[in-house]
Amino acid sequence: MIQDQIQQLILEAKQGSQLAFNQLLNEYWDQVYHFQLSRNIDPFDAEDLCIQTFAKAFDKLDRYDPNFQFNTWLISISKNLHIDLIRSRRRGEIFDAFIEENSEVIDDSVTLEEREADEIQDRRLKAGIKKLNSKQQSVLQFRYFDELSIAQIAIRMEQSEGNIKVLLLRARRALADNLKNIS
């Protein structure tokens, strides 16, 4: 696609065109995905970071500066999300190492309050998922609970991979909105 076509799609996407969003996602998905794979992460994480990249980009599309290439902007978002992932994993590893070193001192039994908080969180998540349509529920189930790849989900749901990417993106957004409204 030439730059003028890309800029037109971005303009249409800013105006809310789902078709334009889909075309941009399809145009740049492979580039962002391969960028993530080149950073030595597994394919599941690469797909998940791609979904997060496009979700963030589409949410912040009004911040895109047309003086720069759109793919460069996407890669910057994707790189930052990858850095966040590494940081969160390192924090988890540091915390796990601390727990292991101090296991004699730390009481690792789950308190009643912690168990109650987990149950509340589980109920909120289930309630948020229940409000989604059946396709959105299925795609989230396949992706995050069954840990299927986008290609596997496409086969299972008998849809194109592009449709699954968009469905997953919309399901995540809808779930986030639902969780905001559940107390």
* Closest residue by Cα to residue 82 from 28, 123, 130, 46: 46
In a domain, 104, yes or no: no
Q: Please report whether residue 36 resides in a domain.
A: yes
26 plus 95 within the same structural domain: yes
> Are 75 and 118 within one domain?
no
For 105-121, the pLDDT digits (tens) are 445 566 777 778 778 88
Task: Write out the residue range of the structural domain in which residue 137 sits.
Answer: 109-180
CB 182 within 8 A of CB 124: yes
Q: Where residue 136 sits, what CATH number does that domain have? A: 1.10.10.10
pLDDT in tens, 119-158: 888 888 888 888 999 999 999 889 888 888 999 999 999 9
Same domain, 90 and 148: no
Helices (H), the chain: 3-14, 18-37, 43-59, 70-101, 112-130, 134-140, 150-157, 161-180
46 and 113 in a single domain? The answer is no
Query: Do 7 and 95 fall within a single domain?
Result: yes
Q: Do 76 and 159 lie in a common domain?
A: no
Tokens of 28: 């740049």
pLDDT of residue 183: 62
Same domain? 42 vs 121: no
Q: Is 156 exposed, middle or buried (0-12, 13-18, 19+ CB in 10 A)?
A: middle
Same domain, 54 and 118: no
CA dist 134 and 38 (Å) reads: 35
Q: Cβ distance 149 to 47 under 8 Å?
A: yes
Q: How many structural domains is the chain composed of? A: 2
